Structure 1
Amino acid sequence: MTALARAIEVTRRYGEVLALDRVSLDIRAGELVGLLGPNGAGKSTLINLFVGLRRPTSGTVELLGGSPQNPVTRRGIGVTPQETGLPESLRVGEIVGFVSAHFPEHTDKGELLDRFGLSDLVKRQIGGLSGGQKRRLAVALAFAGKPRMVFLDEPTTGLDVEARRSLWDGVRAFHDEGGTVLLTSHYLEEIEALAERVVVVGQGRVLADDTMRAVRDMVGVRRVSFAAEVVPELPGVLGSEREDGRINLVTTDPDRLVVELVRSGAPFSGLEIRPTTLEEAFLAITSKETADV
Structure 2
Amino acid sequence: MTVASMPAVHATGLHKRFGKVHAVRGLDLTVQQGEVVAFLGPNGAGKTTTIDMILGLSAPDQGTVSVYGHTPRGAISRGQVAAVMQTGGLLRDITVRETVQLNAAMFDSSRPVDEVLDRAGILEIADRRVEKCSGGQQQRLRFAMALVSDPGLLILDEPTTGMDVAGRRDFWAAIRADAVRGRTVIFATHYLEEADAYADRIILVRQGTVVADGTAAQIKNLASGRTVKASVPVEDRELLAGLPSADSVAFEGARVTVRTRDSDAVVRYLLNRTDAHDVEVASNNLEEAFLALTGEDAAPQTSDTALEGERAS
Paired residues for 1:138-157 under 5 Å: 138-157=142-161
CA RMSD of aligned residues (A): 2.5
Deviation at 1:104, TM superposition (A): 2.5
Unaligned runs of 5+ in 1: 227-252
- 1:168 is matched with which residue: 156, 168, 172? 172
1:235-246 alignment, distance < 5 Å: none
Q: 1:100 to 1:292 in 2, by over 3 A?
A: same
Larger Rg: 2
- The equivalent residue for 1:24 is 28
- Alignment TM-score, normalising by the size of structure 1: 0.81
Q: CA deviation at 1:221?
A: 3.6
* Structure 2 unaligned blocks of 5 or more: 231-244, 257-277, 301-313
Q: Could you give the per-residue CA deviations for residues 47-78 of structure 1, whole angstroms, max 9, x where no partner exists?
A: 11001111111111112211113376452111
Is 1:256 paired with 2:264? no
C-alpha change, 1:193 and 1:4, in structure 2 (3 Å) is same
Q: Could you give the per-residue CA deviations for residues 4-63 of structure 1, whole angstroms, max 9, x where no partner exists?
A: 212110001111111110001011111111111111111111111001111111111112
Shift in CA distance, 281/87, structure 1 to aligned 2, threshold 3 Å? same
Structure 1 residues 224 and 157: alpha-carbon distance in aligned structure 2, compared to 1, 3 A threshold: farther
| Partner of residue 276, structure 1 | 284
Deviations along 1:232-271, one digit per CA (max 9) or x if unpaired, are xxxxxxxxxxxxxxxxxxxxx8773433x34999xxxx99
Matches for 1:1-293 after TM superposition, within 5 Å: 1-70=5-74, 73=77, 75-222=79-226, 256-259=248-251, 261-262=252-253, 273-287=281-295, 290-292=297-299
**CA 1:222–1:80: 2 relative to 1, 3 Å:** same
CA distance change for structure 1 residues 254 and 111 in 2, over 3 Å: closer, same or farther?
Answer: farther
Tell whether the 8 Å contact from 2:6 to 2:69 is kept in structure 1 after alignment: no
Return the alpha-carbon distance in structure 2 between the equivalents of residues 71 and 37 of structure 1: 26
Distance 1:126 1:207, change over 3 A: same
| Kept in 2: contact 1:84–1:138 (CA 8 A) | no
Which 4+ residue blocks in structure 1 deviate beyond 4 angstroms? 71-74, 223-226, 262-265, 270-273
Instruction: Give the C-alpha shift of residue 97 in structure 1.
Output: 1.1
Deviation digits for residues 73-100 of structure 1, max 9, x if unmatched? Answer: 4521111123223011111011111111
Check the 8 A contact 1:196/1:211 in 2, yes or no: yes
Letter in 2 for 1:258: A
Deviations 1:134-172 (A, max 9, x none): 111112211111101111111112222111112112211
Give the counterpart letter for 1:89 in structure 2: D
Paired amino acid for 1:34: A
Give the number of equivalent residue pairs.
261
TM-score (norm 2): 0.76
Q: Contact 1:87/1:126 (CA < 8 Å) preserved in 2?
A: yes
Q: Is the 8 A contact 2:229 2:255 kept in 1?
A: no
What is the Cα deviation at residue 223 of structure 1? 5.3
Identity, % of aligned positions: 37
Change (3 A) 1:207 1:124: same
What SS does structure 2 have at the residue aligned with 1:3? coil
The 8 Å contact of residues 67 and 73 in structure 1, kept in 2 or not, is answered as: no
Write out per-residue CA displacement over residues 94-122 of structure 1, whole angstroms, 9 at most, x where no aligned residue.
Answer: 11111112222222222211222101110
SS at match of 2:31: strand
